[in-house]
Chain A
C-alpha cells in the first residue's frame, strides 16, 4: 500500500465567477521511502497540492490518504508528527525575532517532548550547523544556513514524510548543491519519504525516483528517471520542459 495516496484531488480558491481551479483532479501515489517529484511552471498547482496535504488549501473534491487513512478535517498533533513541510523561502519561513534555539525548541514544547537541550544540539549537528549558531537570529545567518534551520525544524518531531516546496530555488547554485546533498543524506539516514516540488527538472531528476509533470492544475505525465533520461517523455509539454532544461543535461564539465 502506498504511504501517500492522492486521489482525484480538486482545490478551488474563491467562488463563482472569480473561482480559480488551482488543482483539477490530480491522482498521485507515493510509496514509503520513495522520493517523488512534482514539476511544472508557476501557477500549475504543484505547491497547492503540498498545501492541501497540510490542510492549508481549500480541498473541494477527492481524497488524501496517508497509510490508507483519510486525512482528518483538522490536522492533529499526530499528523504533524508524521508529516512536516519545508518551505521555499528561508527568509520568510523563520520568525525574525526568534533565535535558532527557540525555533527548534518550539515543536518540542508543543508536543511535550523532553530533552530540549540535547535534541536541539543534535538537530543542529545533523543538518551541519555549527553549535555556535544556536543563539543567533535569522538575520545573522546566510540563506543556506537558514534553510538548514528550516530543515532541522521540520525534523525535530522525527517525521516519516517531508513535503519539500522548492527547497533550494531561493539559494545560489553552490549553496543549492550543499542543501540537496544534505536532503539526500537525511533521506537515507532516516528512511524518509519525500514529496518534492520544483520548477527545475534537473533538481527533481537528481532527487526523485519518479515524477509527475503538471500544467494548469492537472498532471499531464508521470514518468520515472530512466524514462526521462532516455528521452522517453511523450507529452508535448514535458518535452518542451525537457528541451528548455537541455543545457542542464550536458553533465559536469570537468571530471572530479
Chain B
C-alpha cells in the first residue's frame, strides 16, 4: 500500500459560463519518493495538490473514488481530524513566500506559533526548535532571521523559511507547489538541493508541482504530465526521452537551449484529441 493513493479525482468549479472541470478523473499513488506533477497553467496541477489537503473551498467541488493517506480515508475524515493531518502529516510549500507569510508577524513568531499553541511548548523550547530548522535549510544566522519581518528578506530566504516552517512537524508527505518559480536561477538550484537533502534524510514523500519539465527531470524520480485536467503521460524522470505523448515531447522541445541553432522553435500544435 502506498503512502498516498488517489483514484479518479475530479475537481469542478462553477463559473458564469457553466461548470468547469479543472481535474478530470486522475489516479496516482505516491510513496516515500519524489513525484513531479508537470503541466502548463490551467492544467489542474495546483488544484490537484490543494485537493489532497482539502484546501479547495466551495463552490469548488472535489470528488474521488478513493483518496487514502497512510490507511486513512481523506474523503471521510471530519474537519477536525483533517486539521490533525494538514501541516502535521502532509505539509505544503506555496509558490511565493511574499504572499504565503504573514507580513505583520516576525518570522520567529510565525515559526513558533504552532509549537506554542498547538503543542503547548514553552517559548524557549519552541525557539530552539525553530532555529534548528532554520539551520537545516542553511540559514546560519537564525537568531537574526527570527527577529525579521517577511519584507526584510529576499525571495530565496523567504522560501527557505517557508520550507523550514513546514518541516517542523516532521511531515510524511510534502507538497511543493512551484516552490522555486518566483526565484532566480542560481537561488533556485540552492533551494532544490536543500529540498532534495531533506527529503532523502527524512524519508519523506514529495509531490513537486512545476511547469518546468527539464527542471523536474533532474530532481524527481517520477513525472506525471498533466494536460487539461488529465494525466496524459507517466514517465521515469531519467528517461524523458522515452516520452511518447506529443504534448510531453512538444513541451520538451519548445524551450530554447544555449548554443542552439537559433532556428524557429517548434511550437505545440494542440490536438483536440489530447483532452479526450
Cβ B254 vs Cβ A174 within 8 A: yes
- B40 near A174: Cβ-Cβ < 8 Å: yes
Interface centre among B214, B250, B259, B266 (most CB of A within 10 A): B259
B246-260: which residues lie under 8 A (CB-CB) from chain A?
Answer: 249-260
Q: Is the CB of A205 within 8 A of B258?
A: yes
Cβ A184 vs Cβ B264 within 8 A: yes
Contacts of A172 in B (CB 8 A): 40-41, 211
Cα-based distance from A103 to B122 in the complex (angstroms): 60
> Which of B27-35, B102-110, B183-191 participates in binding chain A?
B183-191
**Contact across chains for B253 and A180 when beta carbons are under 8 A apart:** no
Say how far A73's CB is from chain B's closest CB, in angstroms.
34
- Smallest beta-carbon distance B28→chain A, Å: 22
B241 within 8 A of A: yes
B267 interfacial contact with A, CB 8 Å: yes
Q: Does B262 contact A (CB under 8 A)?
A: yes
Most buried by A among B241, B251, B260: B260
Indicate if the CB atoms of B266 and A177 lie closer than 8 Å: yes
Check A247 against B214 for contact (C-beta < 8 Å).
Answer: yes
Task: Find chain A residues with CB under 8 A from B217 CB.
Answer: 247
Q: Does B76 contact A (CB under 8 A)?
A: no
A residues near B135, Cβ cutoff 8 Å: none
Taken together as a complex, chains A and B put the C-alpha atoms of A100 and B268 apart, in Å, by 25
Q: Which residues of A contact B41 (CB under 8 A)?
A: 143, 172
Chain A residues lying within 8 Å of B213, measured Cβ to Cβ, are 173
Chain A: CB-nearest residue to B241: A253
* Separation of A242 and B258 alpha carbons in the complex (Å): 9
- Contact residues in A for B188 (Cβ distance below 8 Å): 244
Q: Is B215 in contact with chain A by the CB < 8 A criterion? A: yes
CB of B186 within 8 A of CB of A248, answer no
Residue of A nearest to B186 (CB): A244
Q: Is A178 engaged at the interface, CB distance under 8 Å to the other chain? A: yes
Residues B267 and A248 in contact, CB atoms below 8 Å apart: no
Q: What distance in Å separates the Cβ of B227 from its nearest Cβ neighbour in chain A?
A: 11
Decide: A181 and B265 in contact? CB cutoff 8 A: yes
Q: Which residues of A11-37 have CB atoms within 8 Å of chain B's CB atoms?
A: none
State which residues 230-276 of B face A: CB under 8 Å: 240-241, 243, 249-260, 262, 264-268
Query: Do the beta carbons of B257 and A252 come within 8 Å of each other?
Result: yes
Whether B81 is near chain A, meaning CB under 8 Å from some CB there, is no
Q: Is the CB of B251 within 8 A of A174?
A: yes
Considering only CB atoms, which chain B residue lies closest to A240 in the complex?
B186
Q: In the bound complex, do residue B264 and residue A248 qualify as a contact, i.e. CB atoms below 8 Å apart? A: no
Q: How far is the CB of B101 from chain A (nearest CB, A)?
A: 18
The contact string, 1 if C-beta is below 8 Å from chain A, for chain B 46-68, is: 00000000000000000000000
Q: Which residues of A contact B25 (CB under 8 A)?
A: none
A42, A172, A228 — most chain B CB neighbours (10 Å): A172
Do B40 and A244 have beta carbons less than 8 Å apart? Answer: no
Complex contact B215–A174 (CB within 8 A):
no
Residue in contact with A228 in the complex, picked from B215, B250, B259, CB distance below 8 Å: B259
Q: A240-B186, A253-B241 are in contact. Are A173 and B254 (CB under 8 A)?
A: yes
The verdict on B155 contacting chain A, using a C-beta distance below 8 Å, is yes
**B218 CB within 8 Å of chain A:** yes
Interface: A241 (CB within 8 A):
yes
A251 touches B265 (CB 8 A): no
Question: Are A199's CB and B184's CB within 8 A?
Answer: yes
Given known A-B contacts A41-B185, A172-B40, A203-B256, A181 and B211 have beta carbons under 8 A apart: no
Residue of B185, B187, B189, B265 near A177 (CB, 8 A) is B265
By beta carbon, the residue of chain B nearest A201 is: B258
Contact A173 B255, beta carbon cutoff 8 Å: yes
Knowing A241-B186, A244-B188 are in contact, say whether A249-B266 is a contact too (CB < 8 A).
Answer: no
Q: Chain A residue with minimal CB distance to B265?
A: A177
Query: Please, which residues of chain B bring their CB within 8 A of the CB of A74?
Result: none
| One of B254, B259, B264 near A249 (C-beta < 8 A) | B259
Residue in contact with A174 in the complex, picked from B257, B258, B267, CB distance below 8 Å: B267
In this complex, the member of B155, B185, B186, B214 whose beta carbon has the largest number of chain A beta carbons within 10 angstroms is B185
Complex alpha-carbon distance, A253 and B240, angstroms: 8
Q: Answer whether residue A256 sits at the interface, using C-beta atoms and an 8 A cutoff.
A: yes
What are 21 A-B residue pairs whose CB atoms fall within 8 Å in the complex? A41-B185, A42-B184, A172-B41, A174-B250, A174-B254, A177-B266, A180-B265, A181-B264, A181-B265, A200-B185, A201-B185, A202-B258, A202-B260, A229-B259, A241-B186, A244-B185, A247-B218, A248-B258, A252-B266, A253-B252, A254-B241
Shortest beta-carbon contacts, A-B, top 10 = A229-B259, A206-B256, A177-B254, A41-B184, A177-B265, A174-B268, A172-B40, A244-B185, A249-B258, A253-B252
